[in-house]
């Protein structure tokens, strides 16, 4: 497998209201030879495009909703109190397990072109709550860096968040597209994060993403350039031989990464709303992600039977701690008893997990 | 929509050998019982003559009345009075004509619904079919359902019959499409030879598929496993008992840890010697942490006695641990 390549854009769909937004103009300038179509915001998409997600079309949208929103988390499990900066929806990569396949009912890579114009509103909100620490990420509904070479998101987001003392911006990615940010002057309050998985899962279930090694080498380069980094073992998948293969990831981390400037490492096992399964099986009929023992969780999502989760979390976190004992390990959407059994302690509730992570910010990225 | 003046047809006596009797572009009949119809025709004749369209080969296509024609052939008729629709009558209108003719006097089985939808795709868009025709056929109006019904045509005759006579769930049929031919015939046999509810079929087919995926073996091998075969050939069990036993075997293979935990829990609780009418219920799938106590009693005195006895069961303190040794 060669190095990760930039994604090909087949067409640009421009909603009428987005035409005059600054980001639209920049994107059109960047891609002058790509066919463009003007579309209305209410125009119905084709069934086929919705199903296949139309991942090679950009749709430029003047977003009317809130750009900064708390992560919805999940009922009855402990969540981290993250804030999502909604820069767009959908992603040019194609992970079999991606929740967007059932979450999104509109196709194309949807980019919100008035983001830059709305930053002042977000800034005002953050500045009006100096007592809080805002942990903000753009990687929930899209990949934070996959389309950055087109959108130039980091050109305006890095300076904007770097200048604020009560927030951090986490750019979460499965790419190796760090060239554009590595030379940035704005590294303060910025966390570059990678989702990690075994080489087998990356090859079989994470189409068009960077290889494991590429991700870790990119992380090393970012660390060397002065960025704080984070890692997310999510979704953890259980299969015969998982332990040895996750061990390989940690060995790579040990070889390339300085653990002292990792702000946190999250771990979350594969979980999904029941409906997602049918979308996945349709698009990825040969996937093995459903092979494990899934039960219905307290929030209605399917997740591994608890002893399996505990086994995976305990082994992985113990191994990570052996590497470095202060990595800010936390679980994504897990219950108090799973925390206790896997890690030997529990934040007990979401509010305490938030505090724990806020303290990680204070410790690793002092204002 | 059809115009009201489209039904100008001529009643003509047609030699049956001049009619193309392969299920044509308007046919929406599958696995029908001709006997009652033959009986009626013998007694009263063909009350509603079939409708035909002349086709370019100078023979006739059946628009409506396919079953009636099949019946009269079996009765040995040589010719039959039919309405011949004008040549200007479009193929789409002929299809709608037959659909409406059928809709007023019978219900379609799922295979027939699939045939109708399949035929409509030659004339109108997916969106039109979903919006205008699926509700008429009593199918939820969405693309997934449309695909499900259109895909039924790919299945073997034996499986189609199982679906038509409602021995096999339509949802299961949707999954069968993506399974190797021999495997799906095997599944069809398993589901039709015993009495399975549709929910049991649905759960079981998923388990079988997932076991095959995880263990890297064929579906055939799973169904042919020694323990399932033993159940199938057991002469002391009735059909529902066999279904339950097969479900248990497959559940244990699909969810080994969960099944073991459930077994351990049941064993642990049964060793407690709980008072009669007292039950301890674990959280679903052991995911939560709260257990429930259920006490059945008739009078307050009875309840007091049971609770007092319960307090004297020292092993109660081990309750959450029963299943944790998996």
Most B CBs within 10 Å, among A275, A306, A348, to test the B interface: A306
Considering only the beta carbons, identify the residue of B214, B288, B326 that sits closest to A307: B326
Choose among A320, A285, A85: nearest CA to B210. Answer: A285
Nearest residue of B to residue A77 by CA position? B288
pLDDT in tens, B68-80: 999 999 999 999 9
* Residues of A with Cβ-Cβ distance to B127 under 8 angstroms: 47
> In this structure, what token pair is assigned to residue A165?
């003392």
Nearest residue of A to residue B256 by CA position? A293
Q: Quick one: pLDDT at residue A231?
A: 98
pLDDT in tens, B235-269: 999 999 999 999 999 999 999 999 999 999 999 99
Contact flag B256-A335 (C-beta cutoff 8 Å): no
pLDDT in tens, B108-155: 999 999 999 999 999 999 999 999 999 999 999 998 899 999 999 999
Q: Quick one: pLDDT at residue B43?
A: 95
Distance CA A16, CA A236 (A): 42
Contact flag A47-B143 (C-beta cutoff 8 Å): yes
Contact flag B144-A278 (C-beta cutoff 8 Å): yes
Sequence-ordered alpha helix ranges (H) in chain B: 35-44, 66-74, 91-103, 110-120, 126-128, 143-151, 157-164, 170-176, 181-193, 198-215, 219-223, 226-232, 239-254, 256-270, 300-311
* Alpha-carbon distances, residue A350 vs A331, A344, A360, B324 (angstroms): 11, 17, 15, 26
Dihedral, CA atoms, A259, A226, A70, A316, nearest 10 degrees? -20
- HSE-CB at A90 with a 13 A cutoff on CA atoms is 25
* Residues of A with Cβ-Cβ distance to B213 under 8 angstroms: 288, 290-291
Per DSSP, the residues of B255-302 read: SHHHHHHHHHHHHHHHTT-PPTTEEEEPPGGG-SS--EEEE--SSHHH
Given a cut of 70, is residue B42 above it in pLDDT? yes
DSSP annotation of B40 reads H
Nearest residue of A to residue B323 by CA position? A307
Give the angle B107-B109-B111 at the CA atoms, nearest 5°.
145
Given a cut of 70, is residue A341 above it in pLDDT? yes
- The secondary element (H helix, E strand) that includes residue A74 is none
Q: What is the ipTM of this complex?
A: 0.91
Contact flag A298-B287 (C-beta cutoff 8 Å): yes
pLDDT in tens, A272-296: 999 999 899 989 999 999 999 999 9
- Please state whether the predicted TM-score (pTM) of the whole model is above 0.80: yes
Q: Quick one: pLDDT at residue B21?
A: 92
Contact flag A308-B288 (C-beta cutoff 8 Å): no
């Amino acid at each position: 497998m060669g190095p990760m390549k930039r994604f090909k854009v087949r067409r640009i769909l421009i909603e009428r209201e987005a035409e005059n937004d600054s980001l639209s103009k920049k994107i059109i300038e960047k891609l002058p030879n790509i066919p463009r179509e003007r579309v209305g915001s209410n125009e119905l998409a084709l069934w086929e495009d919705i199903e296949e997600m139309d991942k090679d079309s950009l749709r430029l949208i003047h977003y009317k909703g809130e750009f900064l929103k708390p992560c919805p988390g999940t009922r009855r499990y402990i969540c981290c109190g993250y804030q999502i900066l909604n820069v767009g929806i959908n992603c040019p990569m194609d992970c079999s397990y991606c929740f967007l396949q059932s979450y999104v009912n509109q196709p194309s890579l949807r980019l919100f072109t008035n983001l830059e114009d709305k930053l002042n509103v977000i800034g005002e909100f953050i500045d009006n709550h100096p007592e809080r620490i805002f942990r903000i990420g753009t990687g929930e509904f899209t990949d934070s860096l996959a389309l950055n070479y087109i959108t130039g998101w980091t050109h305006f987001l890095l300076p904007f968040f770097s200048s604020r003392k009560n927030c951090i911006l986490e750019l979460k990615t499965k790419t190796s597209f760090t060239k554009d940010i590595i030379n940035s002057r704005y590294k303060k309050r910025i966390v570059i994060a990678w989702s990690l998985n075994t080489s087998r899962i990356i090859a079989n279930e994470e189409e068009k993403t960077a290889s494991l090694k590429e991700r870790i080498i990119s992380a090393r380069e970012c660390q060397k350039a002065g960025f704080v980094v984070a890692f997310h073992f999510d979704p953890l998948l259980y299969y015969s031989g998982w332990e040895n293969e996750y061990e390989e990831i940690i060995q790579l981390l040990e070889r390339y990464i300085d653990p002292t400037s990792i702000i946190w490492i999250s771990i979350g096992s594969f979980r999904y709303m029941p409906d997602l399964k049918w979308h996945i099986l349709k698009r990825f009929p040969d996937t093995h992600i459903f092979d494990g023992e899934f039960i219905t969780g307290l929030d209605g999502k399917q997740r591994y039977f608890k002893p399996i989760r505990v086994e995976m979390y305990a082994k992985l976190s113990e191994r990570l701690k052996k590497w470095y004992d202060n990595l800010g390990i936390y679980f994504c959407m897990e219950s108090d008893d799973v925390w206790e059994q896997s890690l030997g302690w529990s934040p007990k509730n979401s509010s305490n997990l938030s505090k724990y992570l806020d303290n990680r910010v204070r410790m690793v990225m002092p204002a | 929509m059809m115009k009201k003046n489209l039904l100008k047809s001529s009643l003509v006596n047609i030699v049956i050998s001049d009619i193309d009797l392969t299920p044509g572009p308007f046919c929406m009949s599958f696995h029908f019982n001709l006997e009652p119809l033959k009986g009626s025709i013998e007694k009263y004749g063909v009350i509603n003559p079939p409708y035909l369209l002349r086709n370019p080969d100078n023979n006739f296509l059946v628009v409506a009345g396919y079953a009636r024609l099949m019946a009269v052939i079996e009765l040995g008729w040589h010719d039959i009075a039919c309405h011949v629709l004008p040549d200007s009558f479009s193929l789409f209108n002929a299809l709608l004509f037959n659909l409406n003719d059928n809709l007023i006097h019978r219900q379609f089985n799922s295979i027939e619904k699939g045939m109708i939808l399949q035929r409509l795709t030659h004339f109108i868009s997916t969106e039109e079919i979903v919006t205008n025709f699926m509700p008429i056929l009593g199918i939820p109006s969405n693309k997934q359902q449309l695909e499900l019904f259109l895909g039924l045509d790919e299945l073997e005759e034996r499986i189609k019959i199982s679906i038509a006579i409602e021995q096999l769930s339509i949802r299961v049929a949707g999954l069968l499409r993506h399974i190797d031919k021999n495997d799906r015939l095997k599944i069809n046999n398993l589901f039709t030879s015993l009495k399975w509810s549709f929910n049991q079929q649905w759960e079981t087919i998923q388990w079988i598929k997932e076991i095959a995926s995880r263990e890297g073996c064929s579906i055939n091998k799973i169904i042919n496993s020694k323990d399932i075969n033993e159940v199938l050939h057991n002469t002391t069990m009735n059909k529902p008992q066999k279904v339950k036993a097969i479900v248990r075997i497959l559940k244990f293979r699909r969810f080994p840890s969960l099944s073991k935990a459930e077994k351990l829990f049941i064993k642990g609780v049964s060793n407690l010697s709980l008072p009669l009418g007292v039950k301890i219920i674990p959280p679903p799938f052991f995911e939560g942490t709260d257990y429930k106590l259920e006490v059945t009693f008739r009078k307050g005195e009875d309840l007091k006695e049971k609770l007092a006895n319960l307090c004297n069961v020292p092993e109660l303190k081990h309750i959450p641990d029963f299943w944790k040794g998996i």
